[in-house]
């Protein structure tokens, strides 16, 4: 895992006070990292244009242009007067070295956005929006310095944002880059060292970005075992029984020893899934909500879920039902797996205030963190382009999701996978983290067209992780 931060200014200040590193030293390393990224996209016949702002982000771009000048064809474009002392110094150095400065936006093979970075504290003016729109229409490769221009330092967004193929973020990951709404704007994210190791630069944070190497699969190491050793997942089957079937298949493929569907018996059921009209005595975890079409017998469902001490995984329809309040207040171990619309319903029940999906998507980290602090016994899995697992004020962010997962049934499989890990002894938080990682990594690993991936493909792909 890597830390992420709402702001990194305090980390820079720490470098100045704790390690006696000057702002100029950090800037030179930032420019070196940016130059290295640009260099990979250049040849002797290609050119790069650095669009530099008036502050220190613009100065980073000037350093990079200076480092590349002489070997590569680079130029500076300065749409506004340079103001910060360091930017003025770096511009003077670039001029003395002969780095070309152009008066208008020119065609280039590589465009570098060094306008604002994380220092933007006001909405963009119309002239700047027009510049970003013009840059976004250019065919060249686009690199953002620190963060794409148009993202304000309070994590809100301007109406226009620079769309980068690659973002070179300085020092440490910025939380704003991981917002769902920016998935198509930030491109590949690479963290640049600023003269000290990342470990030395960073301090503990409640925000974590998951890595592939964090995944812990439920490999079976105990030789003296039987099906009961790996838990029993019980799934409440609704009228749309296909959703429960997919959850059951996901649970079985992810290591659960037994999987039972609770409800009316139907004819077409995979041979390895069992049916039961009531809760199995040896159940390890209960899954409910998927395929549970309203109206349903709320009294029976409430009794099934609350008349025992088993952990719960709640999804889909139950997020839209007032029973969710009783489940949350019961203090039972609980994993919630809503998509944003379902989370909006949950918040309306718990906060007595309707929060629109658009507002949730713009402030996903805030709402997820706040909810996890109000309900510390709950693990929230807020699904999205970058899925958030929230628990006790800590957020674990899974950036590996792909558009191929945007299909009905994918979430049912994920719920089943979480239930399987709980049944096998994982903590609720760990079950959510590792099931989410496996779910996303399968979608990246499978080689079929991304529009053709099915929920069953996810289950089958678990064999090859």
Last residue of a domain, one of 205, 229, 249: 205
Residues 318/298, Cβ–Cβ less than 8 Å: no
CATH number of the domain bearing residue 61: 3.40.50.10260
450 is in an annotated binding site: no
93 is in an annotated binding site: no
**291 and 173 share a domain?**
no
Round to whole Å and give the CA distance between 251 and 129: 48
**197 and 219 share a domain?**
no
Round to whole Å and give the CA distance between 69 and 31: 13
pTM, to two decimals: 0.93
Number of compact structural domains in the chain: 2
Q: Are strands 378-382 and 334-336 parallel, antiparallel or unpaired?
A: parallel
Last residue of a domain, one of 184, 205, 226: 205
The residue to which tokens 């109406």 are assigned: 159
Task: Select from 198, 156, 188, 247 the least CA-distant residue to 37.
Answer: 188
pLDDT of residue 153: 61
416 is in an annotated binding site: no
122 is in an annotated binding site: yes
CATH number of the domain bearing residue 275: 3.40.1190.20
Tokens of 97: 């070295």
Last residue of a domain, one of 205, 231, 262: 205
Which residues constitute the domain of residue 10? 2-205
**185 and 267 share a domain?**
no
363-390: pLDDT as tens digits: 999 999 999 999 999 999 999 999 999 9
For residue 11, give every residue at least 6 positions away whose Cβ sits within 8 Å of its Cβ, in sequence order, or none: 5, 171, 172, 201, 202, 203
Tokens of 272: 């390895």
295: cis peptide before it, omega within 30°?
A: yes
**192 and 228 share a domain?**
no
120 is in an annotated binding site: yes
**Residue 341 neighbours by CB distance under 10 Å:** 12
**46 and 180 share a domain?**
yes
pLDDT of residue 151: 84
pLDDT of residue 12: 96
121 is in an annotated binding site: yes
56 is in an annotated binding site: yes
**192 and 237 share a domain?**
no
With a cut of 70, list the residues of the chain below it in pLDDT: 119, 153-156
264-316: pLDDT as tens digits: 887 778 889 999 999 999 999 999 999 998 889 999 999 999 999 999 999 99
List alpha helices for 334-427, DSSP H.
340-351, 357-362, 364-374, 410-423
180 is in an annotated binding site: no
% residues pLDDT > 70 (the chain) = 99
42 is in an annotated binding site: no
**256 and 401 share a domain?**
yes
187 is in an annotated binding site: no
Q: What is the dihedral of CA 209, 212, 216, 218, to 10 degrees?
A: 130
79 is in an annotated binding site: no
57 is in an annotated binding site: yes
* HEC readout, 117-178: HHHCCCCCCHHHHHHHHHHHHCCCEEEEECCCCCECCCCCECCCCCCCCEEEEECCEEHHHH
58 is in an annotated binding site: yes
31 is in an annotated binding site: no
**294 and 319 share a domain?**
yes
Residues 136/163, Cβ–Cβ less than 8 Å: yes
363 is in an annotated binding site: no
**391 and 361 share a domain?**
yes
Q: Which helix H or strand E contains 192, and what residues bound it? A: strand 188-192
Round to whole Å and give the CA distance between 63 and 126: 28
**224 and 277 share a domain?**
yes
pLDDT of residue 154: 61
**239 and 134 share a domain?**
no
Terminal alpha carbon distance of the chain: 19
**194 and 237 share a domain?**
no
């Amino acid at each position: 895992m890597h830390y992420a931060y709402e702001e990194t200014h305090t980390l820079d200040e720490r470098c100045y006070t704790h390690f006696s590193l000057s702002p100029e030293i950090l800037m030179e390393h930032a420019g070196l990292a940016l130059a290295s990224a640009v260099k990979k996209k250049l040849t002797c016949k290609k050119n790069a244009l650095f669009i530099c702002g008036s502050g220190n982000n613009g100065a980073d771009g000037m350093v990079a242009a200076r480092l590349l000048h002489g070997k590569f064809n680079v130029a500076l474009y300065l749409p506004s007067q340079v103001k910060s002392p360091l930017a003025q110094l770096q511009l003077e150095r670039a001029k003395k070295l002969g780095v070309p400065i152009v008066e208008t936006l020119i065609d280039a093979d590589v465009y570098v956005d060094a306008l604002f970075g994380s220092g933007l504290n006001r909405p963009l003016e119309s002239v700047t929006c027009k510049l970003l729109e013009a840059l976004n229409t250019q065919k060249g490769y686009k690199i953002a310095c620190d963060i794409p221009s148009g993202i304000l330092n309070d994590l809100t967004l301007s109406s226009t944002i620079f769309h980068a193929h690659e973002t070179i973020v300085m020092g440490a990951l910025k939380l704003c880059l991981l917002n769902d709404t920016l998935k198509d704007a930030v491109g590949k994210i690479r963290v640049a060292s600023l003269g000290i190791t990342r470990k030395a630069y960073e301090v503990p944070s409640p925000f974590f970005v998951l890595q592939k190497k964090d995944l812990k699969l439920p490999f079976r190491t105990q030789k003296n075992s039987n099906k009961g050793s790996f838990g029993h997942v019980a799934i409440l089957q609704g009228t749309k029984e296909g959703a429960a079937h997919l959850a059951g298949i996901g649970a079985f493929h992810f290591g659960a020893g037994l999987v039972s569907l609770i409800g009316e018996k139907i004819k077409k059921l995979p041979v390895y899934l069992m049916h039961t009209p009531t809760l199995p005595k040896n159940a390890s975890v209960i899954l409910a909500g998927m395929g549970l079409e309203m109206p349903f017998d709320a009294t029976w469902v409430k009794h099934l879920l609350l008349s025992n001490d088993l952990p719960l995984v709640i999804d889909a329809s139950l997020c839209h039902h007032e029973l969710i309040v009783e489940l949350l207040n019961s203090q039972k171990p609980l994993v919630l797996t809503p998509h944003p619309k379902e989370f909006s319903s949950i918040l309306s029940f718990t906060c007595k205030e309707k929060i629109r999906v658009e507002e949730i998507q713009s402030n996903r980290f805030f709402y997820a963190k706040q909810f996890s602090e109000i309900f510390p016994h709950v693990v929230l899995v807020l699904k999205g382009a970058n899925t958030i697992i929230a628990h006790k004020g800590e957020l674990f962010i899974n950036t590996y999701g792909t558009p191929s997962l945007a299909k009905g049934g994918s979430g049912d499989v994920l719920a089943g996978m979480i239930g399987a890990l709980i049944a096998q002894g994982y903590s609720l938080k760990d079950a959510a983290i590792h099931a989410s990682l496996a779910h996303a990594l399968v979608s990246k690993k499978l080689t079929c067209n991304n529009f053709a991936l099915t929920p069953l493909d996810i289950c089958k792909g678990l064999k090859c992780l």
